[in-house]
A and B are shown apart, each in its own frame.
Chain A
Amino acid sequence: MSRLYVARNTRVAARNLDGEMMIMSGKDSTLFTLNKTATIIWQSADGATPLDEIVERRICQEYEVDPAAALQDAETLARELAAHGILDVSENPIVSTKLQPVNSQPPKSPAGESR
């Protein structure tokens, strides 16, 4: 069985507000609120760590869950997040020079652009 790799999509904006992870799609302005499991996957999605390791090290450590069932749920969740453009999912490590920070910040405004 092949491993799954996940990476935070660079085209979204993300903020953790009082423990609630909020993500906005830059593509269609849809606003998402992640639950705790999805937040863990988002925070760990560096493109290099396989999803099964994220589940084993982060989710199974935090919750008393069956590892196989947790991995299956995590894969379903990761693909759902990918369908919304929040995560990139691949069977190979995802190399990105612009990985979305866990709490992204807006880019600096070009000087004098709009005033």
Chain B
Amino acid sequence: MQALISSIDCLHLTIEIGGIPIRVNTADADFLNMLQNRYAGFVGSSERAAVEFNVDLLTPGFVDPDADVRVTQQAGKWALERGDFRAEWEPARRTGTIRQSANPYSIDAVLRIVHTLVLAQEGGFLLHAASAIRNGKAFLFAGVSGAGKTTISRLAPPDATLLTDEISYVRKDVRKDVRKHDLSYVAYGTPFTGELAKLGENVSAPISALYLLAQGPENRIDPVAPGQAVRELLANVLFFAEDQELVQRSFHAACEFVSRVPVSRLTFVPDTRVWEMIG
């Protein structure tokens, strides 16, 4: 009996997105299988998890579909809440708990929020943007719903590697040989999908450009002034925390990004010719 309990207790999976491994412990084999399928391609090693979550599965109950996300911090512990989940995370101990029913959406939301918090501390962010690698360089295409993220992803040529059609993952280049004045940013593939419902490739590349998407009668690329670039970048950054310090960090991260990565407006006709201008 003891052996059975031990084997149930040790069900776990490490989901590694953006080079940050998050281990999920559960006692439910079906839930684990669901996660393995959902995050196929992003399952990593559990030996060096940055965060470890124990998932307590609850019986599905009434869920308010309009409930807002609340992310607050008190005494070094984050509380993440929405109608369908409640989670806690203590960064200093690298551990947390998630209480939710057995569905993929709740834990997906928790993972997104945790990544936004981790990235905000180090000057990176999640962005409402499609992204792809071409010729070894990553290109980001930002915009709100309907701006063309899915369209530009769908039009990508065969030699482009899609990182995501919905949520781009942006980190500062943390290589030790990168000096501060040479600071660059790296885009990683994510399993966070949009309308294409296709997971991004789990690869990364230095970011060469950020395009702010607009659809129009012709394909063109126009420069964007730094202030406007910061405004539009911030409008597309995923940020949930009610935390003064992190708000300030995110603002500075956006300014830093704009000072280092070319930001332009990409107006395009929805056909494949737009990709002749990219890469």
Contacts and interface: CB of A to CB of B under 8 A. Distances in A.
Interface in A1-44: 11-13, 15, 17-18, 20, 22, 24-27, 29, 31, 33
B91 A22 contact: no
Contacts of A17: 226-227, 230, 255, 258-259
B118 interface: yes
Contacts of A109: 121-122
Interface residues of B, number: 27
A13 B248 contact: yes
A114 B113 CA distance: 13
Interface stretch (A47-55, A58-66, A69-77, A100-108): A100-108
A91 interface: no
A106 B254 CA distance: 12
A21 B126 CA distance: 25
B23 to A, nearest CB: 14
B169 to A, nearest CB: 15
A26 B227 contact: no
Grouping DSSP codes into helix (H, G, I), strand (E, B) and loop, the A interface class, with mixed when no group exceeds half, is loop
Contacts of A98: none
B227 A20 contact: yes
B231 interface: yes
B125 interface: no
Contacts of B231: 22, 31, 33
B58 interface: no
Residue from B227, B234, B239, B251 with most neighbouring chain A CB atoms (10 Å): B251
Given A113-B121, A115-B50, A104 B248 contact: yes
Contacts of B244: 11, 26-27
Given A15-B252, A17-B226, A114-B91, A107 B258 contact: no
A109 B251 CA distance: 15
Contact of A13 (B50, B239, B247): B247
A113 B234 contact: no
Contact of A113 (B92, B225, B248): B92
Contacts of A20: 225-227
B250 to A, nearest CB: 8
A31 B118 CA distance: 23
Interface in A67-115: 104-107, 109, 112-115
Nearest to A19: B227
A18 B255 CA distance: 11
Contact of A31 (B50, B92, B234, B239): B234
B245 interface: yes
A17 B227 CA distance: 6
Contacts of A11: 244
B177 to A, nearest CB: 20
Nearest to A109: B121
B117 interface: yes
A112 to B, nearest CB: 8
A53 B132 CA distance: 54
Interface of A: 11-13, 15, 17-18, 20, 22, 24-27, 29, 31, 33, 104-107, 109, 112-115
Interface of B: 20, 50, 91-92, 117-118, 121-123, 225-227, 230-231, 234, 239, 244-245, 247-249, 251-253, 255, 258-259
25 contacts: A15-B251, A15-B252, A15-B255, A17-B258, A18-B226, A22-B227, A24-B234, A24-B248, A25-B247, A26-B244, A104-B248, A105-B252, A106-B248, A106-B249, A106-B252, A106-B253, A109-B122, A112-B92, A113-B91, A113-B92, A113-B121, A114-B118, A114-B122, A115-B118, A115-B122
Q: List the 4 closest A-B pairs by CB distance, nearest first.
A: A26-B244, A13-B248, A20-B227, A24-B251
